[in-house]
């Protein structure tokens, strides 16, 4: 396994994440969210994937504060309206890596080297990984929902092929009404074929 596999886990800081969780009400308030209602649960142990609708900047913090376990995030660091990426900002990169973000840069593929093996490594260690299949925030795309990418399904299939074990994908829907947010967790989906991507994405839409 390449040394890059350990690059992100070395930066994850449970103390820093704990501090954010302690002050989560303040952080969400600053992001315009005054209350959160959550329906459904996600196991606190064992490997799994979470696929969520991407509506606002508060999305990842709501999920992170509602699910009380260590989470890693697939973070698209490129915006369609910007020539720069978050990876170019040392401060933002420092924060992202310490909360478990795994930055991918679609404009600079070299930065994504060994990403897939690293994700499989994390799952085999019993971790949970969060995907936002729409990639961009609602404000950065057209329409209520964006074009869903199939990376989360591909990863589940690869995990089953390597370990001979099924990997659950938990669809999560996020919606906002004024300053109130709602998070809904659906039943796990076990994808064995790429064609089941539609099932995952439809579940996310229904929950959102």
Q: Where are the domains of the chain?
A: 3-207
d(CA 148, CA 197): 9
Q: State the pLDDT at residue 139.
A: 63
Query: What does each C-alpha distance from 119 to 6, 49, 73, 111, 173 come to in angstroms?
Result: 11, 10, 10, 15, 23
Copy the structure tokens of residue 143: 């329409």
Q: State the pLDDT at residue 129.
A: 96
Predicted model pTM: 0.86
The angle subtended at Cα 130 by Cα 129 and Cα 134, nearest 5°, is 140
Copy the structure tokens of residue 88: 């170019």
Contact 145, 137 (CB under 8 A): no
Query: What does each C-alpha distance from 84 to 79, 90, 105, 106, 109 come to in angstroms?
Result: 8, 12, 10, 12, 14
Which residues in the chain show pLDDT less than 70?
A: 1-10, 77-89, 106-111, 135-137, 139-141, 143
Residue among 104, 202, 195 nearest 156 (CA)? 195
Q: State the pLDDT at residue 8.
A: 55
d(CA 158, CA 155): 5
Residue among 178, 144, 145 nearest 36 (CA)? 178
Residue among 86, 91, 87, 42 nearest 63 (CA)? 42
pLDDT tens, residue by residue, 138-182: 766 676 787 788 889 999 999 999 999 999 999 999 999 999 999
Report phi then psi at 38, rounded to 5: -125, 135
d(CA 75, CA 125): 20
In the numeric block, the tokens 């170019």 are attached to 88
Q: State the pLDDT at residue 4.
A: 45
Q: State the pLDDT at residue 6.
A: 45
Query: What does each C-alpha distance from 99 to 9, 17, 82, 197, 208 come to in angstroms?
Result: 10, 6, 24, 28, 25
């Amino acid at each position: 396994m390449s040394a890059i596999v350990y690059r992100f886990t070395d930066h994850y800081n449970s103390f820093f994440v704990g501090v954010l969780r302690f002050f989560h009400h303040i952080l969400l308030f600053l992001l315009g969210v005054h209350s959160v209602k959550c329906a459904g649960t996600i196991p606190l142990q064992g490997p799994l994937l979470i696929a969520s609708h991407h509506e606002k900047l508060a999305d990842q913090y709501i999920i992170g504060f509602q699910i009380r376990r260590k989470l890693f995030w697939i973070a698209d660091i490129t915006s369609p309206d910007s020539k720069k990426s978050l990876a170019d900002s040392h401060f933002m990169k420092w924060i992202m890596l310490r909360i478990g973000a795994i930055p991918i840069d679609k404009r600079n593929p070299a930065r994504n080297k060994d990403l897939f093996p690293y994700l499989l490594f994390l799952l085999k260690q019993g971790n949970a990984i969060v995907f936002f299949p729409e990639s961009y925030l609602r404000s950065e795309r057209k329409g209520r929902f964006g074009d869903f990418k199939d990376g989360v399904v591909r990863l589940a299939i690869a995990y089953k092929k390597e370990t001979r074990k099924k990997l659950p994908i938990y669809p999560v829907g996020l919606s906002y009404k004024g300053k109130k947010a709602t998070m809904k967790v659906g039943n796990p989906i076990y994808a064995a074929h790429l064609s089941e991507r539609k099932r995952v994405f439809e579940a996310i839409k229904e929950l959102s």
